[in-house]
Structure formats: C-alpha cells, structure tokens
Chains A and B, each alone.
Chain A
Amino acid sequence: MSIRESIIGFFDRLNAKPGDARRLRDGDSLLVSVRGNTILAHTFDIALSHAEFVRRSLGTLPEGAWVGTIRKTGRQVIALNSKTFYGNQLPAPQSVQDAIRSAFR
C-alpha cells in the first residue's frame, strides 16, 4: 500500500458515517450477495466458495438475490456472476453493478 493510499484510508475511516460507501484499493476482491439495492452479505474471505459463502451468511440464496465476486479495478468496482450459481462469470446485470458501486468505491 502506498503512503497516499494509507493517508486516504485513514481519513476515510476517520470521516466514515454509517451507510457510506466503503473504499477499496485496486485489486481488492470480495464475495458479495445483493438483492435490489441492498448488500445482503459480503466477505473478504475469498478462500470460500460462493456456495459456502451463501450457506454461512444467508443459509440459502434468497429469491431474486444475486451472488458473485467483485473487484476494484482502477476507479471502478466490477461485479462478475458466480459460476456456481449462474454457470458463467459474465459481468453482473447493471442493477447489481449499481448497487455494488453505491456500497463500494
């Protein structure tokens, strides 16, 4: 982590309010579940499979919820589908990308 990133991270934590988007660094990756505009669950423990992440955090994937992997890339956070749940790792639907980007930046 660069000195600049450390300073930005420090002030982010200092000024953070509940509900604020969480700042990620380039290359940071998480497993996330989303329904509508709400982040249902997330973990930095990417050693887990998506199935195990859902089982431990939600029990089962709720109707209408999405699960996958997100990664900070440059200035953008990108969400890709879970291969286990969707059979592909394509970019998530736009509504999911929007929900993710309002929670993580």
Chain B
Amino acid sequence: MTARMVSLRASVLRELEVACSQKPGDRIGRLCWLRDQVENYLDRWLAFAALGSIAMKSLVNDDLFVMTRVAAEIYNDEQSKLGDKVKGRAWEAFYSTLLRLEASRDRSLVVGLRPALDAVGADLHDAVTNQASEPASPSRGGSA
C-alpha cells in the first residue's frame, strides 16, 4: 500500500466516524454513507475517463481511481461485519468489475460501473427498510 493510499484511507475512516458519530451502532447507516462516498469518488473519476483523451493506464493509476478503490475496500470491511443482513451480490458485482478494470485496463468495463453501483444502492435501501420493520429486540434487565 502506497503512502497516498494510507493517507486517503485514514481520511475516509476519519470522515466516516464523524458522519456516523450520532448513531455509532448503525452498521447499515455506515454502509450507506460509504456507498455515497464511493459514488462521489467514482463520478469524479468517470468524468475524467469520459474525456476520452486519457490513457487507461494513467486512469487506473491516478488518485481518483485509488480513492475509489480505497473507499471500496473500507466498504468491504464494513459489510463483512454485517453478515447476511445486507445482500452482497450487487456489491460483489461492482467490486469485481472495479478489480477487473484495474487489472485489464479494458475501457469497455467503465460503462458497467455506475449501473452496478446503483444496484448496490437498491440493496441497501431494502436493508434499511427491513431494519425499520424488524420488531425491536427485547431490552435486557427490563422490569419483570
């Protein structure tokens, strides 16, 4: 991991803690925040990729792509803590496309990234809805 990656990872983690400080136990909320950041970083990268004049070798090594990768790795870490509470198939499709793009530098893969990330948003929406409809767990040590 390069110094730049370490620095960007630390920054995302710092912002994540600030953004989610009101609800520290809300793991799905953390995933939602991270997905929004991945979208933000990816959109910046896609805008430069859309110029068409930048070589893929340069694009997959630039700061904006690294930023997207770093945030995606943090998302992976957070999702693994949730078990099966959030469907992971859409995320796996997005993440694997990102990795394949990095390895192959195949420009045709770029168009699939945004729709794949949108599908992750739909899965998270379902998870939030399910979480809201779950009955509250019985409190421990309540009055008998």
Q: Which residue of B lies closest to A90 (CB)?
A: B47
Contact B48 A71 (CB under 8 A): yes
Interface residues on B, range: 20 to 34
- Judge if B101 is at the interface, Cβ distance under 8 Å: no
Q: Which residue of B lies closest to A47 (CB)?
A: B11
Q: Which residue of B lies closest to A27 (CB)?
A: B62
Q: For B40, give its contact among A29, A49, A71, A80 (CB under 8 Å).
A: A49
Docked Cα-Cα span, A82 to B37, in Å, equals 14
- Judge if B123 is at the interface, Cβ distance under 8 Å: no
Q: Given the complex, which residues of A lie within 8 Å of B8, measured CB to CB?
A: 45-47
Interface residues on A, range: 10 to 19
- Judge if B32 is at the interface, Cβ distance under 8 Å: no
Docked Cα-Cα span, A49 to B44, in Å, equals 10
Q: Given the complex, which residues of B lie within 8 Å of A28, measured CB to CB?
A: 62-63
Docked Cα-Cα span, A78 to B51, in Å, equals 10
- Judge if A48 is at the interface, Cβ distance under 8 Å: yes
Residues in A lying within 8 Å of B, measured CB to CB: 26-29, 45-49, 52, 69, 71, 73-74, 78, 80, 83, 89, 91
